[in-house]
Amino acid sequence: MAMTKQEKELCTRKFHKLLLLGNGRHEGVMAGYESLRPALAQRFEIVGSDFSGDADMSDTSADFALVFGGDGSVLRAVRQLGKNQIPILGVNMGRLGFLTAVDAEDLVPLVSRSDFSSLSVREQILLECVIETKPRISGPVRTDPELVVNEVVVQAGPPFKMLEVELSIDNEPVTTYRGDGLIVSTPVGSTAHALSSGGPILRKDLDAVVIAPISPHTISFRPVVDSAERIYEMRVLNQKAYIIVDGNMHRVISPGDRIRIHKSDVSFKMIRVPGRSYYRTLREKLGWGGGLNFLDAAHPEQ
């Protein structure tokens, strides 16, 4: 049977096959999704959905994903996609929403735009974290790589003594940090835990990482920015510690265990929404004070 004109148009779209993800336990997510689904089904071929956060989406063939919820929902969606990283458009139903680019009431007008399939996709680095336990009788044991969107945190646990974390970069010893822990963050994660620990804000498209100590014992321990092309290795020296990846408890490690972090060969892809510039997002999400009157004075035509 010959395709209709509308069906031919759909098949030539860059964004045609749609995957729907989100946190169904988040207040308002399911109600918002159900109200928007009919309009989405008219415009896209919905190839799958999951609102539990548990389904493996690494083999799902889709052009892009809509993720309903907050930043945590987007982080979960990236893990669900695994190496199958397709462009994501986050629909904000949370509070802060650094990774959610559009509010629910603005979604249908956005996807109805004639140029929606022409919107650009911003690629941002992902890291991978592998834990290697100290050698046993049968040799060291390595965990499977864990994708990292925001950060890897090595943090002190009970008995909550000062943690000693040895850092090496490309096999070169750097220093031993003493404090409550250490963060290795992507540029995306620079506005998350690393920021609250005094780290700098990095543009999301930079190929870099932030190393930020948590409550360091010595003020000479300051945040450092380095290339994402390097291999970062941390080793806890004096006690058990928690490994936290993107805000989720990953595992407990023992003294001598190693955490290796390197840049992934896949990237985190986000659809860029017109009008949502980098600095506008920072102004709105971080509540920066001040005004923009100096821009009006310098550029009265804007």
Whose structure tokens read 């990283």?
Answer: 85
Give CA–CA dist 76/95, Å, rounded. 16
Q: What is the DSSP string of 11-66?
A: HT-SS-EEEEEE-TTSTTHHHHHHHHHHHHHHHSEEEEEESSS-S--TT---SEEE
Question: In terms of C-beta distances under 8 Å and separation of at least 24 residues, what long-range contacts does 55-62 make, across chains too?
Answer: 55/80, 56/80, 56/82, 57/19, 57/21, 57/81, 57/82, 57/84, 58/82, 58/83, 58/84, 59/84, 60/19, 60/84, 61/17, 62/17, 62/18, 62/19, 62/86
Give CA–CA dist 171/186, Å, rounded. 20
Give CA–CA dist 120/271, Å, rounded. 6
Give CA–CA dist 302/290, Å, rounded. 18
Of the candidates 214, 167, 211, 210, the residue with the CA atom closest to the CA atom of residue 188: 210
Give CA–CA dist 100/103, Å, rounded. 8
Q: Which residues are catalytic?
A: 71
Beta partners for residue 267, in sequence order: 125
